Amino acid sequence: MSMVVFFFFMLFFAASCDVTATENSVSFSFSSFTLNNTNFTLLGDSSLCTNGVVRLTNAAITSSSGAVIYTYPIPLFHPPTATFASFSTTFSFSISNLNPTSSGDGLAFFLSPNLSFSAPLGLPSAFVAVEFDTRLDSRFDDPNENHVGFDVDAMKSLKTGDPILHGIDLKSGNTIIAWIDYNADRTLVTVFLSYSLPKPVDPVLSVKFNLSKHFRNPVYVGFSASTPGITEIHQIHSWTFRSAFAPARTRLPPHNVSVVGTVPVSGSGSASVSNSTFSKKRDKGAGIGVLVAGSVAFFVVFSILGYVFVRRQRGGRAEDFQNGFVACPRAFDYRELKSATREFHPSRIVGHGSFGTVYKAFFISSGTIAAVKRSRHSHEGKTEFLAELSIIAGLRHKNLVQLQGWCVEKGELLLVYDFMPNGSLDKMLYKEPERGRLLSWSDRVNIALGLASVLVYLHQECEQRVIHRDIKAGNILLDGNMNPRLGDFGLAKLMDHDKSPVSTLTAGTMGYLAPEYLQYGKATEKSDVFSYGVVVLEVGCGRRPIEREGTKMVNLIEWVWGLHHEGRVVEGADKRLNGEFEEEEMRKLLLLGLSCANPDSAERPSMRRVLQILNNEAPPLFVPKVKPTLTFSSDLPLTIEDIMSDGEEFSTSQSMCEIKIN
């Protein structure tokens, strides 16, 4: 019954509406930013928070810059009529100052014909921008550390305005609403700021500038920001934009809608590009209305029939799985994934995740490559699949493996990820030099930094803490530039920041498990820190967490700590580097690994402190010469020899032995 009502409502709505779109006009609205919306693209260090806010910079690293853009270039110039569009954009943002003794660079709204980001403030090489500047830089003749500037291809503003005169402190951390209007007839840019609605009468900045002389090709629109060190956090909360090629006598529609906490009619993150030709004749508008009504009717009927057909074909399994669960970027067709992996042929296997096998997939139609993870067809596999999907779908960070989509058909549970051409860290780290490129010292430092950065994000910057629980070299993938991407969230757990960890079944990989987690089954961010420490030692030493030497099992942590006790920890460096590294930097890295792998969880640093140490923003931690020991009340064995039975074979061709204690 509800479908019938919806059908007649759509017919009535389509027949009664006037067609008022203008050729090449563009409008879109993001009341919040969600992962399944492809109309925006994150660049650089920008990341998507679980509360629907885009964070442009990561304040935990030495310097950071990021951007978010509307995915598609927007035409502002119409060659046949030689007219330029007017536009209006409204957005809400916040700049939080973390260190009162220093300032970041602020953020900017920009238009640019390219995406070659090489200018200050994280801007493209060519741009027109309105900057919200929070730094006094004499090189650019800045008036103060709290101003709005209009910039063209350079950071020296053509004109500036003072938001303090309007009661606005840019780096107060409060949510600020900004309105930027461009009137093509008057060639006038105006900027308004307020903490709340309605739109103010007086602009903070007003500039005469003819954009038609600067932009003839379509432009990208978006926001960029940068910060040196732990100084500022820049966030975009919501964003609407509209452009129109309007005659001189026609005013741009008023743009005074709320963008804070409201959802547009078209839904969160809606976007539309209008390409209909405006008709001045009422009868032609009515004719178009009838045409639209007919199209809508056909679409609705087709959708109903398609829905019934799919339900019958799939038995409702995929839909039931999706309902009330999570909105992912794309639901792939099973036949498409089967074809792309050559029917999951063994030759396409590139690795194994916590819940199944990973295949390399070639999509002939698009010419792209992806990684497809296939479950083990078990209840356990499905549980871990659900865990991975629910967590990774809500995260966005440059050092996370990006999820493309999913598929639940034919009894299969499948995830589709970006393909990482350099494979996993363990395969790259332990390959022989004659079999390919050896990881250089700079590669290894970059891996330690990138992994630390994403763990800071998971532990402290998400709405809910994410405890990964299975950080290991095999779950760290390397992109084409050897940048690390953390993947495999099959064992991850979400926690509120104010909640204590709960006891669970211990799961993970031997050699990476923290003693207290192995003993009590309580996963915390400190157990992730322990695993990170093991990875850091692997990266520096080129040795596996557990190796057999003759008849003895050697633990990497104990081996490095023994070298530290003798005052020669640098001798633990990977011999294949041939000494091509800074000795003090190697010492710092290995001691940092030991401090993270301290048996006493209370003595381990937070991941934010780790990142500060790596970036020389905090002094290294003291590491005792003798490895601390812990006493547990339980009789559960903690030594490698006790855990491994005498009859169990340990293969040195594998990077680790995976165990689960039930």
498-526 pLDDT, tens digit per residue, is: 454 443 444 557 788 888 887 777 788 99
pLDDT digits (tens, 9 = 90+) for 242-260: 999 865 444 444 444 434 3
pLDDT of residue 123: 85
CA–CA distance, 423 with 476 (Å, rounded to integer)? 9
Contact 337, 407 (CB under 8 A): yes
**pLDDT digits 0-9 by tens, 215-252:** 888 899 999 998 876 678 899 999 999 999 865 444 44
For all residues of the chain together, what is the average pLDDT? 76
CATH code: domain of residue 378: 3.30.200.20
List, for residues 162-199, the tens digit of each pLDDT value: 999 999 999 888 999 999 999 999 999 999 999 988 89
At residue 474's C-alpha, the angle toward residues 469 and 475, to 5°, is: 50
402 lies in the same domain as 435: no
Give mean pLDDT, residues 413-442: 83
Binding residue ranges for ATP: 373
Q: Which stretches does DSSP call E strand in 381-539?
A: 403-409, 412-418, 465-467, 476-478, 484-486, 493-495, 506-509
Report the alpha-carbon distance of residue 236 to residue 239 in Å, rounded: 8
Query: Which domain does 406 fall in, by range?
Result: 334-418
**pLDDT for 518:** 77
Residue 91, pLDDT score: 96
Average pLDDT of span 464-468: 82
Which of 394, 418, 442 represents a domain boundary (last residue)?
418
Q: Give the percent of the chain with pLDDT over 70.
A: 70
DSSP assignments along 160-224, one per residue: EE-GGGGT--TTBSS-EEEEEEEETTTTEEEEEEESSSS--SS-SEEEE--GGGT--S-BEEEEE
Residues 269 and 341 in one domain: no
Residue 553: pLDDT band (50, 70, 90) is confident
pLDDT at 211 (0 to 100): 93
In this predicted structure, what is the pLDDT of residue 280?
Answer: 39
Q: Which residues have a Cβ under 8 Å from the Cβ of 362 and sit 6 or more positions away?
A: 340, 369
Kindly name the residue from 133, 426, 470, 528 that is annotated as catalytic. 470
Q: Which amino acid is at 254?
A: P
With 80 as the cut, is the pLDDT of residue 337 above it?
Answer: yes
Q: Mean pLDDT across the stretch 32-58? A: 84
Q: What is the DSSP string of 225-292?
A: EEEESTTEEEEEEEEEEEEE---TTPPPPP-----SS---TT-TTEEEEE-PPP---HHHHHHHHHHH
- Picking from 418, 450, 473, the residue at the C-terminal end of a domain is 418
Task: Give me the pLDDT at residue 582, please.
Answer: 92
| Residue 96 C-beta-side C-alpha neighbours within 13 Å | 13
In a domain, 287, yes or no: no
pLDDT digits (tens, 9 = 90+) for 66-87: 899 998 899 998 888 888 999 9
Question: CA geometry: angle at 127 spanning 236 and 116, to 5°?
Answer: 85
Do 221 and 339 reside in the same domain of the chain? no
Residues in the chain: 662
First to last CA, the chain: 50
Domain-located, residue 262:
yes
Please identify, among 278, 312, 347, the residue that sits at the C-terminal boundary of a domain.
278
Q: What is the mean pLDDT of residues 153-170?
A: 91
| Alpha-carbon span 214 to 59, nearest angstrom | 34
Is residue 528 helix, strand or coil?
helix
Q: For the chain, how long is the longest CA-to-CA vector?
A: 92
Instruction: Decide if 470 contacts 455 (C-beta within 8 A).
Output: no
The β-bridge partners of 179 are: 90, 192
* pLDDT digits 0-9 by tens, 451-461: 999 999 888 88
pLDDT of amino acid 29 = 92
Residue 293 belongs to some domain of the structure: no
Rounded average pLDDT over 447-475? 88
Query: Do both 360 and 462 map to the same domain?
Result: no
Scan for tokens 């031997």, then name that residue: 510
Residue 142 has pLDDT above 80, yes or no: yes
Say whether both 653 and 571 belong to one domain.
yes
Q: What is the pLDDT of residue 140?
A: 80
**Domains held by the chain: number:** 3
Q: What are phi and psi of 87, to 5 degrees?
A: -150, 160
3-state secondary structure of 391: helix
Report whether 367 contacts 397 (CB < 8 A). Answer: no
Distance CA 233, CA 424 (A): 31
Quick one: pLDDT band at residue 103, thresholds 50, 70, 90?
low
In-domain check, residue 102: yes
Mean pLDDT across 45-53: 83
In this structure, the answer to whether residues 245 and 349 fall within a common structural domain is no
Residue 625 scores a pLDDT above 60: yes
DSSP alpha helix (H) spans, 315-370: 317-322, 334-340
- Three-class SS state of 30: strand
pLDDT in the model for residue 227: 83
Residue type, 176: I
Question: Which contacts qualify for 350-357: CB closer than 8 Å, 24 or more apart?
Answer: 350/423, 351/423, 351/424, 351/474, 353/475, 353/487, 353/488, 353/490, 354/384, 354/388, 354/470, 354/475, 354/488, 354/490, 354/491, 355/380, 355/381, 355/384, 355/385, 355/388, 355/413, 355/490, 356/381, 356/413
* Same domain flag for 596 and 559: yes
Q: Does residue 140 sit within a domain?
A: yes
Most confident of 2-16, 33-47, 452-466, 597-611: 597-611
Q: What residues are paired with 556 via a beta bridge?
A: none
Count CB atoms within 10 A of the CB of residue 405: 18
- Averaged pLDDT for residues 555-584: 94
Q: Are residues 176 and 76 in the same domain?
A: yes
**Is residue 311 situated within a structural domain?**
no
Per-residue model confidence (pLDDT) at position 386: 64
pLDDT tens-digit map of 303-330: 444 444 444 344 334 443 443 344 446 7
Residues 170 and 261 in one domain: yes
Same domain, 152 and 254: yes
Same domain, 165 and 119: yes
Residue 307 within a domain: no
The 8 Å CB, 24+ separation contacts for 569-574 are 572/537, 572/540, 572/541, 573/540, 573/541, 574/540, 574/541, 574/542, 574/543
Contact indicator for 85, 184 with CB cutoff of 8 Å: yes
CATH classification of the domain holding 270: 2.60.120.200
| Residue 59 forms part of a structural domain | yes
pLDDT band at 450 (very low <50, low <70, confident <90, very high): very high
Which residues line the annotated binding site? Answer: 373
Mean pLDDT, residues 423-438 taken together = 77
Tell me phi and psi for residue 407, to 5 degrees.
-155, 130
Catalytic-residue membership of 470: yes
DSSP notation for 420-459: -TT-BHHHHHSS-GGGSPPPPHHHHHHHHHHHHHHHHIII
Torsion, CA 555, CA 561, CA 565, CA 569, rounded to 10? 110
Look at 44 and 314; give whichever has higher pLDDT: 44
494: domain CATH number?
A: 1.10.510.10
In this prediction, residue 480 carries a pLDDT of 86
- Residue 435 has a pLDDT of 57
Structure tokens that stand for 596 in this block: 């993270």
**Is pLDDT above 80 for 354?**
no
* Same structural domain, 392 and 435: no
